[in-house]
Structure 1
Amino acid sequence: MKKELSITIIVLMGLLISTHALAKEKKIKFGKVSIEEVEMKIYELDTSATAVILYERGYYDGINHQYVQFRRIKILKKEGYFMADNKFYASATSTFKGKTYNLENGKIVESKLGKSSIFKEKMWEYSYVYNVAMPDVKVGSVIDIEMKYAGFPSIWYFQKSIPVVKSEIELGDSDNLTFRKQIGGIIRPKEVGRNHWMAVNVPAFISEAYLSSDKNYRTRIEFDISETHFPGYYPMEYAYSWKSIDNLLDKRSSFGKALIWSNSFLNKYVKEIEATAGNETEKVKMAVETIKSLVEYNGSKRVGISEDNLSIVLDEKEGNSADINLMLIALLRKLDIETYPLVMSSRSNGMLHPVNPSLWKLDYVLAYAKVDGKFMPLDATSDLLPYDMLPIRCLNYNGQVLDGKGTQRISLIPQKKYAKRTYYDLSIDDNMTLTGKVSFKKAAYAAYSFRIDFEDYLSKQDYVDNLMDKYDGIAITDFSIENINELDKPISEKYDAEIEDVVIMMDNQAYINMFMFEQIEENPFKSEERKYPVDFTYTRANVGTIRIKLPENFTVAELPDPVNITLPEKAAQFSMMYQFSNNVLTLNYKLLINRVVFGEDVYANIKEFYGLVVSNQSKPVIININE
């Protein structure tokens, strides 16, 4: 009798992979470390490298449906110790072995990986993440790690944050499954045989400013099983289409079945909301706030719940992103709000392919609710955001709505921006100190950024004390900070301040940079060229007015010229205008980023734009001081 093949055996994830090889064509095996490798001091192709992967190999045995990863790492500097901690995605029954090799008194000494150094966390049914901490790692160590499990790999990274001498993956033929591959990255691996790819002397991936995730651009091959047909089991579709993924997830106890259960524990909250809310918007807002109050987010990004059902999650009072947002979906449905799961890959996990469906790439789920006739994505994991905004981890281009019909792709590029308005009203005293008031209004993602920062402080006074430590020359004598907990309102900051070292005296002239603490001092874009997009996460509006009242014996010798810089299609704009009237200097400025993503083909434009912003913001007002 045929039975359904366990997902344990199929969908498993196999990130990263193997290790070793010094560019020599010799057989590299676990535990066979040479004296040359242990004595190695630097990596000649990148002498700044803190560690290097000497060899990695992944092999899928299609006959026995088994995957093996082997990785060999050389630690060159203390800064490379992070490579002692390795993460793997695999099945519940994965096996590991590992050794650390060090040179002591001219001999190679090995330390074995113990079971207590392997930490296992469930992601969803049959899929786990393992954190492996290697023992006795020091400068000069060589590390070997090997992992085996029954299953198929999901991704192979040829490129990492450290150099890779040699990396290869080979998939043996299988009559029992079909898969789809997607090759990505700037450096292309070489196909050296049937389903066998290799790359040698791969440089470390260097991250740059405003990068969404390096996982989008590192050299890699992504694999997804389309369907399986193992003897004695029913044929099954996996990532054959988004519809097949929808069907698969719908059958999982950690996903679809969690929403089918009665979830009667939510009924009392339904009554409370219905008794108070006057319309759908109020219902949705109260539902999001209710879930936030019931379950605290534990930081784990998952697409399946962590417990057997949502009632247990409530009892635990904390949970992963799926625990929280599937509970939100259940509550909204009880409130008769049309709501579907929206599955996605979180920002740090890399984007979903624009066309090809992927099961293993999914690590997050949102609620997608129809509110007053319009659908919107909802997330209840952050106490620092209003109900209609998503945390940055969710701002990853798009996600897939699983509506039980045909599924649909939804944009997750935010409509709200980072909005900051600045106002300085100062005067210069006899000691050339600026005194007066400084205020900020921060809305949407600017308010979110403030609230994230503010969480690190014990009180408002603690936050203000840190500001005075952070910015040289400022003394804050009084302050008010409002709307920290009123998430629908912008943050309001008002300070009475004394600011020194802004007025620079030279002979009988004074030089004042009126941008003061708002100045962008250096261009964030350093490279001459860029091979991947610039991603600002959200649009931005930074607008300000700075006024300085001058003493009667001060006259303006030179004001910087007005500036108005605009990129094509108004993708970015910068303007500044200085005025002098009634002994008051006024600067009005505006810096707008009106597009979230700039392709690499216009990188030169955005780099030049920021270069002009930095250059113009550095120009001082020159003042004559009359006797």
Structure 2
Amino acid sequence: MHKTTLFLFFLITTVNFGQDFRFGKVSVEELKEESHALDSDADAAILFREQYSHIDYSQNNGFTLTTEIYERIKIYNAEGFEWGTHVIPIYQGGGDNEEDINSLKAVTYTLENGKVVETKLQNDGIFKEVRNKFYNVEKFTMPNLQAGCIIEFKYKLVSPFLSNIDEIRLQEDIPLNKADIRFYSPEWLVYQMHRKGLQPFKVEESSKAAKLNYVVRVDRNAGFATLSGSQLQKRNTTQNQTIDYQANSYSINVENVPAMKDEVFSSNIDNYRSAITFELAYTKYPNEPFETITSTWEAVSKTIYDSENFGGQLKNDRFYADDVDAVISGSTTSEEKATRIYEFVKQKMNWNKYIGIYADEGVKDAYKTGVGNTADINLLLVSMLRYAGLDANPIILSTRDNGIPLFPTRNGFNDVIAGVKLDENVILMDATHKMGAANLLEEKLLNWNGRLIREDGTSEWVSLNPTKHALENTMLNLEITEDLAISCRARSQYTGNYGLSYRRNYSGKSDQESLETLEERYSGIEINELEIKNIEEVYEPVELNYSFEMLDGIEEIGGKLYISPFLHLATQENPFKSEERKHPVDFMYPWKDRFIINIKLPQGYVVESLPQNEIVNLAEDLGVFKYLISNTNGYVQVSCEMALNSSIITPQYYQDLKKFYELIVSKQNNKIVLSKV
């Protein structure tokens, strides 16, 4: 072992074994630490994270899940202050079914004159917010935050919801020195583990004998009492009962976990952080039937579809039948029917900004008011498509910020769209967004696969990734004025997700606001006139026509003129700077950019030198870059095409992609040299 590595190993080992992680036992040595031993750039570090989740039974409340949280965090500088705010989601199930936080205790420790000073969290640092009808949050911000301080907090979250243990993160974007995670459940509730991430960790599983004592009312004529998931069934007389059972436990201990730092084109970096979740797979209470919750994708799909707020919403069509009949009247093809119904729902319904796989208002009430969540609207769309005789089904998915459901899970999905089968292809539709089109989803929905669920309970994966390129076609016509400025007329067309992006940015803006938005995007140009076409026409390309002047687009050196033909459109730097990449590069959708640039030579000048032509293909047909330049009849013409044919580039091709972008930057910033005749 190298001496430096050996020294660091003993240093970290000594620190970890020497620290006392009991609440309040913060040492002077911890407070004096100015930087992290293994990551000197870290703004903060989690010195210790402990989570103990256990399922217990009480006579009044039945089974409840209690999660005890304790963390100690070191903050090295002001950039680390964000770790001084902690947010706790609290699920509200309606009625008495809601989660509760108690025993919150939090302290900030600072070093003053060589002594440890404690500043306790007060009520004015605790905030409660209502996020929506399902979730509230309790948020607290630690007092007296300063560089070098340490914060500690602990609390208990008591929940009646047993189906899922919230994700336990074993890696953050700051170093994690030590974590101790434990989860306990009785044998009647069987959980499956879902692991993820690139950092390995080990789970220790064990079981031991335990007893549950309770009081029941029993009928003297009955042979036994029964135990259910929510309460003990009441009988006629009172008896003390004891049940022997096996207590299943899971334990995870990790140390010195490096930070997982975000990088460009990472999608949701949380997809690659090491973490674990526990989800209820099935229950088997004494004297009660076996009940499957989640075990296979088919079981998950059936459970969701059988819900009254999901599949139950697809049974009633009487309230809209006359309207749909009128909408599809005269349609001659299935595609035309589908498009008419889709556009009808898009225009009639207004999204209330809530997402979910289950209807909130219910499709009938949402239809009456014209307002609903994503499930209300898209389940309504599925129902109407079916009414019209089309093969339509809901597709549940996870949005990009919610992660990727790698294992059979109900809780991994948080949104739903519609899918209609036309010519053996499933066409994706989301009627919550006015600017969407068939097979054109918002970027937040482009997250691997969705699960299409049929009425008979069968299901299958459907790719959410676009198969067509987002396309940009741009033409520039340049002239060099007598005072060596550049005058240019530009025309660009955008389709696919490019067009969707432009519609978001420019829809509803005045001409002046649109002009200012474009100038802000392309600094260094002064736009004289701007025309934008088809912003509201979602099935047509967005078209931008504009003219501009650039005063500093030409360099004159020694009587020669140097010009970079791409002007404001040139890629200025390579976004991929890391030496290596351990997780995929995610562009969200395949894309293709085409440029044709015509430069009229100024009178009295000729071409002295041009950049070289270049054609480069990425491995496995992942992408292509073409750069062709010619000089004919007083004009220089540049034709450039760059394309990525896959939205996902795996780490094995990262170095190729990095070189690909180096070439793009180089060629787009190469200069044409003109000299006087």
TM category, shorter = 0.7 to 0.9
Q: Distance in 1 between matches of 2:376 and 2:16?
A: 47
Is the counterpart of residue 109 in structure 1 residue 80 in structure 2? no
Structure 2 partner of 1:134: 140
Q: Distance in 1 between matches of 2:525 and 2:347?
A: 39
Structure 2 partner of 1:420: 472
Q: Is the 8 A contact 2:20 2:26 kept in 1?
A: no
Same amino acid, percent of matched pairs: 23
Q: Which amino acid aligns with 1:88?
A: P
Which residues in structure 2 correspond to 1:261-410 (within 5 Å)?
Answer: 262=316, 264-275=318-329, 277-307=331-361, 309-314=362-367, 317-353=370-406, 356-371=407-422, 374-403=425-454, 404-410=456-462
Which residues in structure 2 correspond to 1:110-259 (within 5 Å)?
Answer: 110-112=120-122, 117-119=127-129, 128-135=134-141, 137=143, 138-139=145-146, 140=149, 142-146=151-155, 147-150=157-160, 151=162, 152-191=164-203, 194=206, 195-231=250-286, 233-259=288-314
Q: Distance in 2 between matches of 1:168 and 1:130?
A: 27
Is the counterpart of residue 435 in structure 1 residue 484 in structure 2? no
> What are the Cα deviations for residues 533-555 of structure 1, in whole angstroms up to 9, with x where unaligned?
12221111100111111122111
> What are the Cα deviations for residues 548-599 of structure 1, in whole angstroms up to 9, with x where unaligned?
1112211111101110111233221101111111211111101011122222
> What are the Cα deviations for residues 216-244 of structure 1, in whole angstroms up to 9, with x where unaligned?
21011233322111236442112211221
TM-score, scaled to structure 1? 0.87
* Partner of residue 666 from structure 2, selected from 596, 612, 615: 615
Q: Is the 8 A contact 2:305 2:453 kept in 1?
A: no
Is the counterpart of residue 592 in structure 1 residue 643 in structure 2? yes
**TM superposition shift of 1:87:** 4.2
Cα 1:130–1:464 change in 2 (3 A) is: same
Cα 1:469–1:375 change in 2 (3 A) is: closer
Q: Distance in 2 between matches of 1:376 and 1:483?
A: 23
Cα 1:266–1:384 change in 2 (3 A) is: same
**TM superposition shift of 1:91:** 6.2
Q: Distance in 1 between matches of 2:624 and 2:424?
A: 35
Question: Which deviates further from its counterpart, 334-343 or 53-62?
Answer: 53-62
Is the counterpart of residue 578 in structure 1 residue 629 in structure 2? yes
**TM superposition shift of 1:81:** 4.5
Which residues in structure 2 correspond to 1:392-541 (within 5 Å)?
Answer: 392-403=443-454, 404-455=456-507, 458-541=509-592
Cα 1:188–1:264 change in 2 (3 A) is: same
**TM superposition shift of 1:74:** 4.7
Q: Is the 8 A contact 1:544 1:590 kept in 2?
A: yes
**TM superposition shift of 1:153:** 1.1
SS at match of 1:569: helix
**TM superposition shift of 1:461:** 1.8
Q: Distance in 1 between matches of 2:278 and 2:647?
A: 29
Question: Which deviates further from its counterpart, 568-577 or 249-258?
Answer: 249-258
Q: Is the 8 A contact 2:90 2:99 kept in 1?
A: no
Q: Which amino acid aligns with 1:297?
A: W
* Partner of residue 94 from structure 1, selected from 70, 84, 99: 99
Q: Which amino acid aligns with 1:159?
A: Q
Q: Is the 8 A contact 1:38 1:142 kept in 2?
A: no
Unmatched segments (≥5 aa) in structure 1: 1-21
Q: Which amino acid aligns with 1:357?
A: P
Is the counterpart of residue 67 in structure 1 residue 66 in structure 2? yes
Structure 2 partner of 1:49: 42
Q: Which amino acid aligns with 1:188?
A: P
> What are the Cα deviations for residues 179-224 of structure 1, in whole angstroms up to 9, with x where unaligned?
3223221211244564211222322211112223212210112333
TM-score, scaled to structure 2? 0.81
Question: Which deviates further from its counterpart, 134-143 or 553-562?
Answer: 134-143
Cα 1:610–1:373 change in 2 (3 A) is: closer
Q: Which amino acid aligns with 1:257?
A: G
Q: Which amino acid aligns with 1:344?
A: L
Unmatched segments (≥5 aa) in structure 2: 1-14, 58-62, 207-249
Structure 2 partner of 1:58: 51
Q: Which amino acid aligns with 2:451?
A: Q
Q: Distance in 2 between matches of 1:350 and 1:101?
A: 32
Q: Is the 8 A contact 1:113 1:135 kept in 2?
A: no
**TM superposition shift of 1:142:** 2.1
Q: Is the 8 A contact 1:85 1:131 kept in 2?
A: no
**TM superposition shift of 1:274:** 2.5
> What are the Cα deviations for residues 124-153 of structure 1, in whole angstroms up to 9, with x where unaligned?
xxxx54422204544347252422324241
Question: Which deviates further from its counterpart, 139-148 or 491-500?
Answer: 139-148
SS at match of 2:606: strand
Q: Which amino acid aligns with 1:579?
A: S
Number of matched pairs: 596
* Partner of residue 652 from structure 2, selected from 593, 597, 601: 601
> What are the Cα deviations for residues 450-506 of structure 1, in whole angstroms up to 9, with x where unaligned?
112225x73232121233344343222222110000000001111122222111111
Q: Distance in 2 between matches of 1:512 and 1:494?
A: 23
SS at match of 1:153: strand
Question: Which deviates further from its counterpart, 154-163 or 359-368?
Answer: 154-163
Cα 1:167–1:504 change in 2 (3 A) is: same
Q: Distance in 1 between matches of 2:359 and 2:29?
A: 44
Q: Which amino acid aligns with 1:296?
A: N
Q: Is the 8 A contact 2:203 2:251 kept in 1?
A: yes
Question: Which deviates further from its counterpart, 201-210 or 469-478?
Answer: 469-478
Q: Distance in 2 between matches of 1:121 and 1:588?
A: 51
Cα 1:115–1:624 change in 2 (3 A) is: closer
Question: Which deviates further from its counterpart, 78-87 or 381-390?
Answer: 78-87
> What are the Cα deviations for residues 354-401 of structure 1, in whole angstroms up to 9, with x where unaligned?
xx4222211111212123554322211222222331211221121211
Q: Distance in 2 between matches of 1:68 and 1:494?
A: 58
Q: Distance in 1 between matches of 2:377 and 2:56?
A: 40
SS at match of 1:172: strand
**TM superposition shift of 1:420:** 0.2
**TM superposition shift of 1:528:** 1.3
Q: Distance in 2 between matches of 1:80 and 1:253?
A: 46
**TM superposition shift of 1:418:** 1.4
Q: Is the 8 A contact 2:75 2:81 kept in 1?
A: yes
**TM superposition shift of 1:336:** 2.5
Q: Is the 8 A contact 1:164 1:202 kept in 2?
A: yes
Q: Which amino acid aligns with 1:94?
A: E
